[in-house]
Structure 1
């Protein structure tokens, strides 16, 4: 999220989380001095890429962030130090067919959630999905967010996945680029449709 009116509009849908990117190289980089008031049940997620602890702490204080999503090459030690700032931590890993889930072991006690995104040219927002069957190889107890190019065309696949053992630890669905009118502006109608379709039996 990036623009005040759009933030307020999408917050009215009562999402569990809204993400704000704090990475200058991103075209969705957050430049507002403050975030408009959100629905009381919506948590603010700050997204960072290899930022310093000092920078993350400053943004937490400025924007009253609830959760920090680490989207770079952060070590488990960095994750532990971010948790000490009094926030929850999501560590992102980029998925492809060769991903080795054993690399997550050292992060298990350092994070609250994992987020599995598609491996692409950018740290995120590439607009493409990965092969979700590889999630059958995930055996840790840390809950995860599913991300990467998810849109309304993935509804049937999502429903199938969520009924499978691979989704036992799936905590939430992260959407972004497939719901944009243009960079940083989310389409409320498309999001409403997605939510309705996903929850249909």
Structure 2
């Protein structure tokens, strides 16, 4: 999220999370001085890419962020140090068909969630889905967010996936670029329809 009036409009839809990107190279970078007041049920997620720990902590405190999403090549040590600051962590990994899930094991003691996104040119927001069947190789109990180019055309596939064994630990569907009118500005009507349909049998 980027624009105040759009943040307020999307918050009316009561998403579980709203993301705010603080990576300076992102066209969606959040550069306002404050986030509009949100319902306490909506968790504010700050997204960082290989940022310094002091910057992450400063942003967390400035915007009262509920979770931090690490979307770069952050080490286990960085996750451990942030956890020691009582910061809840989503660690993102870019997935392709050759992804080795065993590399996640070392992160398990220090993160609250994983996020699986499509491996692409950018750390995120590439607008491309990956083959979710590869998540059958995910054998850990830590819950994860499913990300990567998910739009309205993937709705039925998402509903089917979360019923599978591979989807049993999927606790959130992360949507972004496929619901934008412009970078960082989300289409309220499309998101409302998507959310409503997601919960229909």
TM-score, shorter chain, exceeding 0.5: yes
SS of residue in 1 equivalent to 2:8 = helix
Q: Equivalent residue for 1:24?
A: 24
Q: Equivalent residue for 1:129?
A: 129
Confirm whether residue 158 of structure 1 aligns to residue 158 of structure 2: yes
Q: Equivalent residue for 2:35?
A: 35
Q: Equivalent residue for 1:6?
A: 6
Q: Equivalent residue for 1:172?
A: 172
Instruction: Please state how far the C-alpha of 1:171 moved relative to its aligned partner.
Output: 1.0
Runs of 4+ in 1 over 4 A off after TM superposition: none
SS of residue in 1 equivalent to 2:155 = helix
Q: Which structure 2 segments of 5+ residues have no match?
A: none
SS of residue in 2 equivalent to 1:136 = helix
What's the RMSD between the two structures over aligned residues?
0.7
Instruction: Please state how far the C-alpha of 1:82 moved relative to its aligned partner.
Output: 1.3
Confirm whether residue 83 of structure 1 aligns to residue 86 of structure 2: no
Distance 1:32 1:65 in 2: 14
- Counting matched residue pairs gives 201
Q: Equivalent residue for 1:63?
A: 63
Instruction: Please state how far the C-alpha of 1:160 moved relative to its aligned partner.
Output: 1.3
SS of residue in 2 equivalent to 1:83 = helix
SS of residue in 2 equivalent to 1:114 = strand
Instruction: Please state how far the C-alpha of 1:40 moved relative to its aligned partner.
Output: 2.1
Instruction: Please state how far the C-alpha of 1:86 moved relative to its aligned partner.
Output: 2.0
After superposition, the C-alpha distances for 1:135-186 in whole angstroms (9 at most, x for unaligned) are 0000001100000000110011111111110011111100000000110100
SS of residue in 1 equivalent to 2:65 = coil
Instruction: Please state how far the C-alpha of 1:12 moved relative to its aligned partner.
Output: 0.8
Instruction: Please state how far the C-alpha of 1:61 moved relative to its aligned partner.
Output: 1.0
Q: Equivalent residue for 1:15?
A: 15
Instruction: Please state how far the C-alpha of 1:75 moved relative to its aligned partner.
Output: 0.7
Distance 2:191 2:14 in 1: 11
Confirm whether residue 194 of structure 1 aligns to residue 187 of structure 2: no
Distance 1:99 1:89 in 2: 21
Instruction: Please state how far the C-alpha of 1:54 moved relative to its aligned partner.
Output: 0.4
SS of residue in 1 equivalent to 2:51 = coil
Distance 1:165 1:74 in 2: 29
Q: With the length of structure 2 as denominator, give the TM-score of the two structures.
A: 0.98
Q: Equivalent residue for 2:116?
A: 116
The answer to which of 16-25 and 79-88 deviates more is 79-88
Q: Equivalent residue for 2:102?
A: 102
